Chain A
Amino acid sequence: MTQLPTSTDKKLGLVIDLDTCVGCHACVISCKGWNTENYGAPLADVDAYGANPVGSFLNRVHSYEVQPESGPSQLVHFPKSCLHCEDAPCVPVCPTGASYKRSEDGIVLVNEDACIGCGLCAWACPYGAREMDPTAGVMKKCTLCVDRIYNENLPEEDRIPSCVRTCPSGARHFGDFADPNSNVSKLVAERGGMDLMPEMGTKPVNKYLPPRIKDTLNTAGTCGELETVSEDATGFLGWLDKALEKL
Chain B
Amino acid sequence: MHPAPSVILFSSLSGLGFGLLFWLGLGFPNVEGLVAFVFFAIAYALAVGGLIASTFHLGHPERALGAFTQWKTSWLSREAWMSVGALVFMGLYAAALVFLNNHIPVLGFIGAAFSLATVYTTSMIYGQLKTVPRWNMSLTSPMFLTISVAGGALIAGQITAALILLVIAGLVQVAYWVSGDKAFANSGTDMASATGLGNIGSVTAFEPPHTGTNYLLKEMVHVIGRKHALKLRVIALILMVVLPVVLLLLSQNHFVALVAAVSHLIGVMASRWLFFAEAEHVVGLYYGKR
- Interface residues of A, Cβ cutoff 8 Å to B: 1-3, 18, 25, 28, 52-57, 60-69, 73-76, 78, 80, 89, 91-98, 114-120, 122-128, 131-132, 134, 136-139, 194-201, 208, 210-211
B197-A96 in contact (CB<8A): no
Residue B69 contacts which of A18, A57, A97, A134 (CB distance < 8 angstroms)?
A97
A199-B193 in contact (CB<8A): yes
B138 contacts the other chain (CB 8 A)? no
Q: List 10 A-B contacts (CB under 8 A).
A: A2-B72, A18-B197, A52-B212, A64-B195, A66-B202, A76-B197, A94-B74, A95-B76, A117-B60, A199-B189
Within 8 A of A (CB), among B182-217: 187-189, 191, 193-197, 199-210, 212-216
Nearest-neighbor residue (CB-CB) of B135 within chain A = A123
Contacts known (A2-B74, A198-B193, A210-B197); A54 close to B63, Cβ less than 8 A: no
A97 to B125 CA separation, bound complex (whole angstroms): 16
Contacts known (A54-B214, A123-B220); A96 close to B201, Cβ less than 8 A: no
The minimal Cβ–Cβ distance linking B187 to chain A, given in whole angstroms, is 8
Residues of chain A within 8 A (CB-CB) of B74 are: 2, 92-95, 120
Residue A199 contacts which of B188, B210, B220 (CB distance < 8 angstroms)?
B188
A200 to B131 CA separation, bound complex (whole angstroms): 8
A200-B202 in contact (CB<8A): no
A122-B219 in contact (CB<8A): yes
A127 to B131 CA separation, bound complex (whole angstroms): 9
Residues of chain A within 8 A (CB-CB) of B77 are: 95-96
A61-B201 in contact (CB<8A): no
B75-A93 in contact (CB<8A): yes
The minimal Cβ–Cβ distance linking A35 to chain B, given in whole angstroms, is 15
A136 to B58 CA separation, bound complex (whole angstroms): 12
Contacts known (A98-B66, A122-B219); A63 close to B207, Cβ less than 8 A: yes
* B: number of interface residues (CB 8 Å): 59
B70-A95 in contact (CB<8A): yes
B200-A114 in contact (CB<8A): no
Residues of chain A within 8 A (CB-CB) of B201 are: 66-69, 73-74
B80 contacts the other chain (CB 8 A)? yes
B240 contacts the other chain (CB 8 A)? no
A62-B209 in contact (CB<8A): yes
Residue B194 contacts which of A1, A75, A197 (CB distance < 8 angstroms)?
A197
The minimal Cβ–Cβ distance linking B77 to chain A, given in whole angstroms, is 4
The minimal Cβ–Cβ distance linking A234 to chain B, given in whole angstroms, is 40
B281 contacts the other chain (CB 8 A)? yes
A120-B76 in contact (CB<8A): yes
The minimal Cβ–Cβ distance linking B80 to chain A, given in whole angstroms, is 7
B202-A2 in contact (CB<8A): no
A131-B216 in contact (CB<8A): yes
The minimal Cβ–Cβ distance linking A43 to chain B, given in whole angstroms, is 11
In this complex, the member of A18, A67, A75, A197 whose beta carbon has the largest number of chain B beta carbons within 10 angstroms is A197
B232 contacts the other chain (CB 8 A)? no
A128-B220 in contact (CB<8A): yes
Residues of chain A within 8 A (CB-CB) of B281 are: 123
B61 contacts the other chain (CB 8 A)? yes
A138-B200 in contact (CB<8A): no
Nearest-neighbor residue (CB-CB) of A69 within chain B = B201
A218 to B74 CA separation, bound complex (whole angstroms): 57
Residues of chain A within 8 A (CB-CB) of B80 are: 95
Contacts known (A54-B214, A67-B204, A89-B131); A132 close to B219, Cβ less than 8 A: yes
The minimal Cβ–Cβ distance linking B226 to chain A, given in whole angstroms, is 19
Residues of chain B within 8 A (CB-CB) of A119 are: 57, 59, 219
Nearest-neighbor residue (CB-CB) of A51 within chain B = B212
B200-A63 in contact (CB<8A): no
B283 contacts the other chain (CB 8 A)? yes
A116 to B216 CA separation, bound complex (whole angstroms): 18
Within 8 A of A (CB), among B121-140: 125, 128-132
B59-A208 in contact (CB<8A): no
Contacts known (A66-B200, A124-B129); A53 close to B205, Cβ less than 8 A: no
B129-A123 in contact (CB<8A): yes
A120 to B202 CA separation, bound complex (whole angstroms): 32
The minimal Cβ–Cβ distance linking A7 to chain B, given in whole angstroms, is 17
Extra inter-chain contacts (6) besides given A52-B213, A64-B206, A118-B59, CB under 8 Å: A63-B209, A64-B197, A94-B70, A127-B286, A137-B60, A139-B59
The minimal Cβ–Cβ distance linking B136 to chain A, given in whole angstroms, is 11
